[in-house]
Amino acid sequence: MANYQYCVATNWGKGFITHSDSSKLDFTSFPGNVWKVNANNQDANRWVSGVAGVRKTLSEAQAIVNAEITAAQAEWDSIPDDDERKDTSSALYIPRPEDITLEE
Amino acid sequence: MSEYREIQGATVQNIAGDGGTIEGQVWYNSSSNNFKVKTYGSGTWATGNVMPYTARDSGGFGITTASVIYGGYNPPSVLTTCVEYDGTNYASATAFPTSVQGLQSEGTQTAGFSIGGGPAYENKFYDGSAWTAKNAMDKSRTGHGSAGGPTAQTAALAAGGEPAPSQTTSSDWDGTCWTAGAAVPSWAQGTSGGGTTSEAWMQANVNSETAFKLYNGSTWSDGTACPGQHNYGGGGGTVPTCITFGGGPSPVGKAVTDMWDGSAWSTGGNLNEGRGNLHGAGTMNGSTDCMIGGGNPATPTGATNATEEWTGPAITVKTISTS
């Protein structure tokens, strides 16, 4: 049985996740507005519905995340090699986005 | 069967109520005829309205309901943008005079102090509407820690950071000038911190990310190591109670919060959106109440406009039952 469920929902800000939600559930965000929250949990089910989240299977959520990461990696790869963003000693360095594997 | 007295070295106290007890204590409430325990919660993060701009490594000062966030880095741009937050909504404010990122900040919304940060390493006061340049620090610092609190314009300190040789040094602000402060006992870079010039703390560095350092007004010393690593993470609070959260090293956008109560570390609620590069982002005014705006979620863009607000743990009294 899966430990987590996934949905796509846009964080509108205050009230999207409340302190009450946070005290009862474990939230993790991913690229593409993908959210991971507890499975088999009424509070979690109510939260997904309350934020108008579109439920995704694990493979559907993974595909969304993969597409975002692939695009970001391509953008990073297009940065010239002598750019400060690729210089690990620079304060402006940004690492190449890493692949993310969602868990069941 | 073991007895409580054998395990704890003392008997359970008999108290006519719940008063005078401390966190972790077990006692017998002779008024309600129940065993009781005083527990400490974990604290929680909740989302706030999104910032009107996206940045990591920005600066922030004030309190959750009256704060300022400014500057930062949204690759490839270093920013001057400034906004104010009232606990619900953001509003535009006077832009920082120069592009700045990797800085630290102290003070209030009407008496703020922007401390260091690259590429110009400038120091400026904010009075609620305008920025005023102040004297240069004796060391250039970015990715450093700071302390000073609400009265930082008259007394503050900055410690660690980069570039070399800032990592093991500190600087003291007397309201007019910066002077060399006490030496930091070990490398401190990518820090978070807080407190006052007589009681300050600083956590994290790139070589020993769990390092926790305490300042007593004249000397820095090593405190109990933090269980989590928060390299370039955020922090809030003073001495003895503070929190440190997010940061790295891997993944950079971790979500963990660690809480220090003056004697021990415990785990707080996770950030809902893990992120790093927080060291100056947002208002880290306390261990029980602070907010952050922006940061680095690591992937895919390297910066976010998400806001989160922290409510610290409440001490509660629970009845011990057998069920």
Domain positions in chain A are 4-86
Q: What is the pLDDT of residues A81-102, one digit of tens each?
A: 999 889 988 888 888 888 999 9
Peptide bond into A97 cis (omega under 30): no
Mean pLDDT (10-residue bins), chain B, 323 residues: 70 84 82 83 89 91 91 92 92 95 93 95 97 96 92 95 88 97 86 91 73 92 86 84 82 80 87 81 59 75 87 81 68
**Which of A68, A92, A98 lies nearest to residue B73, judging by beta carbons?**
A92
Residue B4: partners with Cβ closer than 8 Å, 6 or more residues away: B11, B12, B26
Q: What pLDDT, on the 0 to 100 scale, is given for residue B287?
A: 60
Please answer yes or no on whether B269 and A23 come within 8 Å at the CB atom.
yes
Instruction: Check if the beta carbon of residue B54 is closer than 8 Å to that of residue B63.
Output: no
**What is the C-alpha to C-alpha distance for residues B283 and A72, in angstroms, rounded to an integer?**
30
Nearest CA of chain A to the CA of B175: how many Å? Answer: 29
pTM score: 0.86
Residue A55, beta-bridge partner list? A7
Chain B partners of A21 at a C-beta cutoff of 8 Å?
46
Please answer yes or no on whether B46 and A11 come within 8 Å at the CB atom.
no
Contacts 24+ apart (CB under 8 A), B77-84: B78/A92, B78/B118, B78/B119, B79/B53, B79/B55, B81/B53, B81/B55, B83/B51, B83/B52, B83/B53, B83/B293, B84/B109
Burial of B42 (0-12, 13-18, 19+ CB in 10 A): middle
Instruction: Tell me the pairing of strands B82-85 and B315-320.
Output: unpaired
Mean pLDDT (10-residue bins), chain A, 104 residues: 94 93 92 95 97 98 95 93 90 86 92
**Which of B41, B75, B162 lies nearest to residue A94, judging by beta carbons?**
B75
**What is the C-alpha to C-alpha distance for residues A51 and B77, in angstroms, rounded to an integer?**
33
Nearest CA of chain A to the CA of B294: how many Å? Answer: 12
Cα maximum dimension of chain A: 52
Q: What pLDDT, on the 0 to 100 scale, is given for residue B288?
A: 62
The two tokens of residue B208 are 């020993």
Q: What pLDDT, on the 0 to 100 scale, is given for residue A77?
A: 95
**Which of A11, A91, A100 lies nearest to residue B47, judging by beta carbons?**
A11
Chain A partners of B49 at a C-beta cutoff of 8 Å?
12-14
**Which chain B residues touch A if contact means CB-CB below 8 Å?**
41-42, 44-50, 57, 73, 75-76, 78, 88, 101-102, 118-119, 142-143, 162, 251-252, 255, 269-270, 272-274, 297-302, 306-307, 309, 311
